[in-house]
Amino acid sequence: MCQLAIAQQQENATLPYTVLCRLASVDLKGFAGLTNQEIRLTVKSKTPGVQPSDIRLHIESATSRIPIPVNSDGTFSLPISQELLRENPMIVANQPKGTMELKVSITLKGTCSDGLAELTDNRQRYNSIFFLEDLRTRLTKTDLGDVPMSNVVSRTVVAVRLIPQRDAGKATVVIESSSGRAVVPKQRDGAFFLMHDPSLAKENPWVLMATNHNWKVETELQDQAEQRPAPISASAAQAEAGRSAKR
């Protein structure tokens, strides 16, 4: 009976409706080059053993309790209405306060106006590959009220995968910077993975990518704390190239 009383007094995790609504309603398609965006809301518990299927969410409206279904992977959709925005009720979880994590990911798709490579000499400028870096910079200045967008985006870096679609075995990527030619290592899947390097962006060197490999470019923003294993920047590639030359 004592344990039950303590559990009943424990405060549930809550979040104001308007805060989450701002995140779920972010529209970035006005930025040049972007053609599509997808916003993904994911919730999980930091408590060991608590699975997404154990989590229940609802909107505590003045007129009714509105359930928010949570999928098996923790993703969910937020119902958006002007009435709820005016009321700004709490979104309530069936988990204790301080144990919940909310992740909002925005997938952006677009085109690079400069194309993938210049047909005449099979190369393009470094900054044209990392065109989303400019978007990342502008996102830090986006005002979403209570949402600290600048804090979130400032922890991210732009990552690029250069994927040859034809004759992949012979494909190479070389960065011609002032410090020399840097051969970018090929990943196990045949792609070439680069993290944005501010020093190279300042120089904006040529990047050699032979067009006969029919390149595909995938660009994304990554949280620095959750980068994929063994990311390599161009500066790291230079160091690796130097080590290889000595062997």
Q: Is 45 domain-assigned?
A: yes
Q: Do 72 and 158 belong together in one domain?
A: no
Q: Do 61 and 130 belong together in one domain?
A: no
The pLDDT assigned to 153 comes to 61
Q: Do 240 and 122 belong together in one domain?
A: yes
Nearest CA-CA partner of 172 in 208, 196, 139: 208
Q: Do 123 and 99 belong together in one domain?
A: no
Number of domains in the chain: 2
Tell me which of 106, 125, 159 is where a domain ends.
106
Q: Do 163 and 63 belong together in one domain?
A: no
Q: Do 125 and 143 belong together in one domain?
A: yes
Q: Which domain holds residue 183?
A: 115-246
The pLDDT assigned to 131 comes to 72
The pLDDT of residue 235 is above 50: no
* Alpha-carbon 67 to chain mean position: 28
Percent of the chain, pLDDT > 70?
66
Write the pLDDT tens digit of every residue in 109-163. Answer: 666 555 555 555 678 888 888 877 766 666 666 655 555 555 556 666 778 888 8
Q: Is 3 domain-assigned?
A: no
Write the pLDDT tens digit of every residue in 214-232. Answer: 888 877 666 543 444 334 4
Beta strand pairing call for 57-60 and 65-68: antiparallel
Tell me which of 37, 71, 106 is where a domain ends.
106
Q: Is 93 domain-assigned?
A: yes
Write the pLDDT tens digit of every residue in 85-114. Answer: 999 999 999 999 999 998 877 776 666 555
Q: Do 92 and 193 belong together in one domain?
A: no
